[in-house]
Amino acid sequence: MNEAKIRATLKSKGLSYTRPRKEILHLLMTRHGPFSVDDILKSIPDGTCDQATVYRCISQFLEKSLIKEVRLGEDFSRYEFNNPDHHHHHVICKSCQKIDSIDNCFIAPFLNQIKNLGYTEIEHALEFFAICPKCQKA
């Protein structure tokens, strides 16, 4: 992921190119999330970014739909890059907290039902909680 790509992504959303935005978006565009604010802070060199700035960048990225919020039953939020071509869900291990992706979404039957109730602009949040193979042996 080069600087030009990140710069272009920010520009396409009308956001100026600043060091914190570059660092945060770089993490989210190059590594597999979802990441907590703490993950993000620790990933930035020299700790040279304030947590207030991270929260403010996240809000802006969410408003612009650059990222999605993911809640996994923890007492904090996680965030991941929003790739419209890669709608997916997550399983988190109830024992070791390892997160896996579920790439197929079989939500259509629900959508039909909800559309029939007259709802529009339907979005969904779906997460799974289970015991992973490694934790079953231990």
**Which positions lie near Zn ion, rule CB under 5 A?**
105, 107
Choose the binding region for a second copy from 2-10, 23-31, 48-56, 113-121 (rule: CB under 8 A): 113-121
Binders of Mn ion in range 69-88 (CB under 5 A)? 80
- Rounded CA-CA distance 4/47 in Å is 23
Packing angle, helices 19-30 and 3-12, rounded to 10: 110
Choices 26-34, 51-59, 96-104, 128-136 (CB under 7 A): range interacting with DNA:
51-59
CB of 35 closer than 8 Å to CB of 19 = no
Q: Site for DNA (CB under 7 A): which residue of 2, 4, 45, 52?
A: 52
| Exposure of 119 in the CB half-sphere (CA atoms within 13 A) | 11
β-bridge mates for residue 67, sequence order? 81
104 touches 58 (CB < 8 A): no
Residue 69: CB minimum distance to DNA, A: 9
Position 71 contacts a second copy (CB under 8 A): yes
Select the span of 7-15, 41-49, 52-60, 121-129 touching a second copy (CB under 8 A). Answer: 121-129
